[in-house]
Every structure is written in C-alpha cells, then in structure tokens.
C-alpha cells in the first residue's frame, strides 16, 4: 500500500444486508474505500484477480466456495495478499482454519465499527490482528484432543442423523468400529452423548450443519 493512498478493500459476504452494512461502515473511514463486493467465495477470487485490493474482508461461511477455500486460493496465487476474516462464528476450529488458510486477522461480527476499522488498517499495513476474545478461543483449543480424519467422518454422519449401522455401511467399516470411534469422539469432545457431540462440534466449528 502506497503512502497517502486509500486502503482499497474487497468485501466478501453472502448476506446482502450484512454486506451493504459493511460497505457503509467502511466508507465512513476517510482512508479506506471499497473497490468491489463479492457475494460468494468464488466471486471473491475472481474480483481479487480483477481489482488487486490491499485487503479482503472475508466472511467464512459462504456459498459456492467458503471463505476458507477462497483465502487459500487467493493466497496461493498471491502470497502477499492480506485477508481479514470477519465472522459470526467464534469456534476455535473456525479460527484455526482461518489462520491456517493464510488469514492475517480475525474479527467477530459482534464487534463494533470502532474495532473493525483499526483491524482493517493494521492488517493492510502488514500486521496480524488477533483480538483478546479470539486469542482466548485459540488458547482453549490446546486443552482439547484433535479428532482424527475417520472420527470426523463418523461425526459428520452422526450429524446427518444416521444410526451406527448406517454409518458403518456408508463408510465401509464394521459397526463395532463405528462404536469405537464414537466412544473416542465423546471422550475428546468431553460430551455425554451423540446429540451433545454434534451440538458442541458445531459450536466450535469442527463441523458445519
């Protein structure tokens, strides 16, 4: 970003009303201007290529391509791209995925404009932006065990309402193995039953319902 020039940003959010509100809010800052708006992750990638903004204000859960997928692709093609995630979700898994994808900052949609504008300026300037509440979520993750790939597969099938026998058939494993994975899932998530497992994992961003 050149000295004295406005910060050019791309706003990506699949909710029209939210996107319009963000654009209005950002445009109140004299040193920031919205150069493009994307309604989904795929469009965000296309518009980044076209406009080459200083920063992408990226929602996480969007249609066609998610914010995570869009961030990965943008950063793969443009390693110096700056991405600030703005999400309604504060689960530790969502936050971790965002930073692993290449985002340099994470702001919750519950934050006020007084927090968003400084975050945009900081990330556009090359800094990382991790608010206290986001840092707390990330630190809490260290107290949990990570689910294996197979456990995540079983968990996603449980979220669809499938019984153990159906899950076994779908994944090509025995019903006994499914029960074994379920036992491990409950222990790692520190929950009592499959319903609570789905609820907690959705809250944390481990799975999406």
Spell out the residues 6+ positions from residue 135 whose beta carbon is closer than 8 angstroms to its own: none
Averaged pLDDT, 166-179 = 94
Residue 5 in this model has a pLDDT that exceeds 90: no
Averaged pLDDT, 112-126 = 87
pLDDT band at 183 (very low <50, low <70, confident <90, very high): very high
CB 45 within 8 A of CB 70: yes
Averaged pLDDT, 66-70 = 95
Distance CA 26, CA 11 (A): 10
Report all structural domains of the chain as residue ranges with CATH numbers, in order of start: 7-141 (3.40.50.2300), 149-204 (1.10.10.10)
∠ CA 191-192-198, nearest 5°, is 60
């Amino acid at each position: 970003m050149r000295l004295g020039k406005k910060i050019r940003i791309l706003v990506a959010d699949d909710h029209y009303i939210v996107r319009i509100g963000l654009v209005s809010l950002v445009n109140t800052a004299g040193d920031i201007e919205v150069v493009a708006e994307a309604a989904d992750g795929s469009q965000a990638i296309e518009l980044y290529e076209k406009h080459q903004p200083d920063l992408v204000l990226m929602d996480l859960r969007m249609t066609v391509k998610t914010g995570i997928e869009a961030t990965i692709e943008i950063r793969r093609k443009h390693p110096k791209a700056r991405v600030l995630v703005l999400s309604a979700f504060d689960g530790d898994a969502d936050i971790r995925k965002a930073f692993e994808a290449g985002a340099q900052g994470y702001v919750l949609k519950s934050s006020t404009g007084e927090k968003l504008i400084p975050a945009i300026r900081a990330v556009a300037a090359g800094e990382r932006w991790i608010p206290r509440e986001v840092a707390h979520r990330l630190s809490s993750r260290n107290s949990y065990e990570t689910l294996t790939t197979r456990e995540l597969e079983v968990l996603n099938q449980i979220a669809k309402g499938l019984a153990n026998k159906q899950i076994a058939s779908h994944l090509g494993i025995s019903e006994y193995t499914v029960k074994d994975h379920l036992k491990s899932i409950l222990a790692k998530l520190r929950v009592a039953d499959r319903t609570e497992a789905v609820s907690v994992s959705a809250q944390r961003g481990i799975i999406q319902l």
